[in-house]
Amino acid sequence: MTDFKVDLDAYFARIGFDGPRTPALDVLTRIILLHQRAITFENLNSFAGLPVVIDPATIENKIIHDGRGGYCHEQNQYLRLVLKALGFDARLRMARVRWMQPPEAMPQRGHMTLNVAVKGIWYLSDVAFGAMTPTAPLRLDTPEEQATPHQTYRVVPIGDALHLEVKLGDNWRPVYSFDSVDYYPVDFEAANWQVSTYPASEFVRNLVVARPTADRRQILNNTLLSIRHPDGAVEKQTLSNVVELRSTLTTMFGIRLPADIKIDHALEGLFQTEGRS
């Protein structure tokens, strides 16, 4: 879809951005934060057995006009189109997810992220990793700590890859790793199909929803709701029924739930004794 033209007016209205439309660092920084606070990371489609279509027009309709969110292959691809329309040099990267993985693991490439250049300096710019998405662009030319409105991160070179790490308490935790190879939307078609349909995929087996607010992160894993505060404190609550779950998705996470029987059944299944775990 080379003739697709992103609807900047609708996108900026969706995220509440009214600043200049120039390829400047403060613009990139503001967009990344506002995007994540407005457009939730969620995998309702894959969890419910619905297709995840990643052509730009479908993505735009879903996350801009239908009041939905999405995962990396949707949100970061759309962000790239927005940034390119503003004049940024924005390049897709395919990362290996290392979050919650043992140190010796070699996960496959699958996460879509972005490298964006501003005045010759490259920044990691991601809006859709989930619970630990950086809420600010991160310089790629330094291993030093970089603060964001939520957690502190660093980008460390190890071998021929850059490793994103997040500081939780006094410990650094791996998030994902990537290299300097340029990828294109077509390169993610197979990865998206696997993530959204493979029976053992995390996004097929589990409901995963995340959105930061001004002062905390909100994370939902199936029926477990977690609130992570800036001081590191974490509150946890198990939702008790599907009515509470639907209310949480619509109010706390701002998702406009579609009238779809597959989504209804998937949400109800979380409270059945033989439901998915």
Whether the predicted pLDDT of 226 surpasses 70: yes
Catalytic residue among 7, 35, 73, 111: 111
- Record the pTM: 0.94
Could you report the per-residue pLDDT of 257-275, keeping only the tens digit for each? 999 999 999 999 999 854 4
The Cα–Cα gap between 277 and 270 comes to: 8
Query: Which is more confident, 110 or 267?
Result: 267
Tell me whether strands 89-97 and 41-42 are parallel, antiparallel or unpaired: unpaired
73 is annotated as an active-site residue: no
**In the block, residue with structure tokens 């939702």:** 239
* The two three-digit tokens of residue 186, written as one number: 């077509």
- Given pLDDT bands bounded at 50, 70 and 90, which one contains residue 137? very high
Could you report the per-residue pLDDT of 2-29, keeping only the tens digit for each? 589 999 999 999 999 999 999 999 999 9
Residue 55, Cβ neighbours under 10 Å: how many?
A: 12
* The two three-digit tokens of residue 1, written as one number: 């879809």
265 is annotated as an active-site residue: no
* The two three-digit tokens of residue 176, written as one number: 């994902």
The Cα–Cα gap between 93 and 95 comes to: 6
Model pLDDT, residue 2: 59
The Cα–Cα gap between 22 and 205 comes to: 41
Catalytic residue among 72, 73, 150, 163: 72
- Given pLDDT bands bounded at 50, 70 and 90, which one contains residue 32? very high
Q: Do 42 and 253 meet the contact criterion of CB atoms below 8 Å apart?
A: yes
Domain-wise residue ranges, the chain: 8-270
126 is annotated as an active-site residue: yes
**Contact residues for 220 (Cβ-Cβ < 8 A; gap 6+):** 207, 208, 209, 210, 226, 248, 249, 253
Model pLDDT, residue 275: 44
Q: Do 212 and 150 meet the contact criterion of CB atoms below 8 Å apart?
A: yes
Query: Per CATH, is 8-270 categorized as 3.30.2140.20?
Result: yes
